[in-house]
Amino acid sequence: MQRKGKRAAVLMSGGVDSSTAAALLKKQGFDVIGVTLQLWDYDSTNHRPQGKRGCCDISHQMDAMHVCDVLGIHHVVLDHRKQFNLEVVEPYGQSYLSGETPNPCVLCNSKIKWGSVLPKIDALECDYLATGHYAKIVRGKYGIRLEKSIDLTKDQSYALWQIPHQTLERTLLPLGNWEKKKIREVAHQHGFRNAGKPDSQEVCFIDDHYGEFLRDTRHDMVEAIGNGEIIDENDKVVGAHDGFFRFTVGQRKGLNIGDGKGPYYVVGLKPETNQVVVGDLNAVKRSGCVIREINWISFDAPAKPEPCNVKIRYNDPGVPGTIFPEENGSLTIRFNQPRAAVTPGQSAVWYRGKAVWGGGIISMGIKSEV
């Protein structure tokens, strides 16, 4: 625990997790300020998540304000719509149209919360930036590292791999040692009106399918792409689609192939020819992957191949593998057993025990010989 009297800016979305994070830090003796980010202008778009799935509209700001009022702390709203559009929304659309599957939450964490926001808390004279993520910052004689939450069903360390190592010194993650059910109990004890509020959806700025978002926001590009073919690995046409960008590697549903030979899975995308490649389950398996945009968050890069545990998607429990550092600074990962749906554009995160060793973006899967 840090020394009492320090000031912490808590990013408060209006949800129960960030609200309780603020309460816990205040109880620990921190001077807490609630900070809500305005990231998306719902009034200027057709893509407004229904109910309470979004994270930036006035109802969520009011929930955060209510919590700050109950706790007796200051509340401010920071407008980061321009940065969010530039750093998250634009790359999100471009990734799909390039044949990859993005993870906007990773970008939002690194580019916005620990990127453009962190310098601004200096103006609030804050020592720390805190969030309601389920992960841990561990400080010890061997340095500082990011670790998994004790509640592995809610662990969010996977989504934090891109945060620069040097920002960990100014980061507080007070929920890392708590289970979600206990957090709701604390929220109820404080009388927070959002104590029973459902968890937000992963992508806060779209409603329904991302394909419709792309059609509205990049209409000319999508219209130019048009309809295309679904082919097998022998280039035989087995179906049709209305845009390769509507599919992701490993996808099974929505292919509408009626030849009776399925089930089919998406094996790859060909943006240059607007084709979707499909195959059976073995065809979608990969023995490893090539990684780009690497960040070593808790430990340095190894000088030789090293064993680790690897996650290739958010809800992935992780599997044993080996990381192979390359001379050009890239990285190759080999899994101990072939894995299905190794998806370009998604994050691969490797762990040393409980600690996040590092992470990067999957450029391509290495085809399995199995």
Q: Write out pLDDT tens, residues 227-254.
A: 999 999 999 999 999 999 999 999 999 8
Q: Write out pLDDT tens, residues 316-335.
A: 999 999 999 988 878 999 99
Output the pLDDT for position 288: 97
- What order do you get walking across the sheet with 171-172 strand by strand? 74-79, 31-38, 7-11, 128-130, 171-172
Q: Distance (Å, rounded) from C-alpha 197 to C-alpha 300? A: 39
Output the pLDDT for position 321: 98
Task: Tell me whether the omega of the peptide bond preceding residue 263 falls within 30 degrees of 0, making it cis.
Answer: yes
Note the helical H segments in the chain.
16-27, 58-71, 81-84, 90-97, 104-107, 117-120, 180-190, 210-217, 219-225
Check whether 2 has a pLDDT greater than 80.
no
Output the pLDDT for position 75: 97
Q: Find the mean pLDDT for residues 33-37.
A: 96
pLDDT confidence tier of residue 56, bands split at 50, 70 and 90: low
The structure's pTM equals: 0.91
Q: Find the mean pLDDT for residues 152-168.
A: 96
pLDDT confidence tier of residue 356, bands split at 50, 70 and 90: very high
Output the pLDDT for position 141: 80
The secondary structure of residue 177, as a DSSP letter, is T
Check whether 43 has a pLDDT greater than 80.
no
Among the listed residues 280, 275, 276, 294, the one whose alpha carbon sits nearest the alpha carbon of residue 332? 294
- 204 noted as active-site residue: yes
Q: Which CATH number fits domain 284-367: 2.60.40.10, 3.90.600.10, 2.40.30.10, 3.40.50.150?
A: 2.40.30.10
Among the listed residues 163, 120, 98, the one whose alpha carbon sits nearest the alpha carbon of residue 343? 98
Q: Distance (Å, rounded) from C-alpha 216 to C-alpha 226? A: 14
Output the pLDDT for position 79: 93
Q: Write out pLDDT tens, residues 262-276.
A: 799 999 999 999 999
pLDDT confidence tier of residue 26, bands split at 50, 70 and 90: very high
β 7-11/171-172 pair status: unpaired
More confidently predicted of 282 and 205: 282
Q: Which amino acid is at 302?
A: P
Check whether 308 has a pLDDT greater than 70.
yes
Output the pLDDT for position 42: 60
Output the pLDDT for position 105: 93
Output the pLDDT for position 252: 93
- Please give the mean pLDDT across all residues of the chain: 91
Q: Write out pLDDT tens, residues 180-227.
A: 999 999 999 999 999 988 887 667 777 767 888 898 889 899 999 999
Quote the distance between the C-alpha of residue 293 and its chain's center. 15
Check whether 138 has a pLDDT greater than 80.
yes
The secondary structure of residue 159, as a DSSP letter, is G
Q: Find the mean pLDDT for residues 92-115.
A: 95
3-state SS, 205-268, equals CCCCCHHHHHHHHCHHHHHHHCCEEEEECCCCEEEEECCHHHCCCCCCCCCCCCCCCCCCEEEE
Among the listed residues 146, 130, 128, the one whose alpha carbon sits nearest the alpha carbon of residue 138? 146
C-alpha to C-alpha distances, 57 to 43, 105, 207, 276, nearest whole angstrom: 9, 18, 14, 37
Output the pLDDT for position 51: 46
Residue of 68, 105, 204, 308 marked catalytic: 204
Residue of 55, 108, 126, 289 marked catalytic: 108
Output the pLDDT for position 172: 97
Superfamily of domain 7-190: HUPs (3.40.50.620)
- Write down the domain spans for the chain: 7-190, 227-275, 284-367
pLDDT confidence tier of residue 3, bands split at 50, 70 and 90: very low
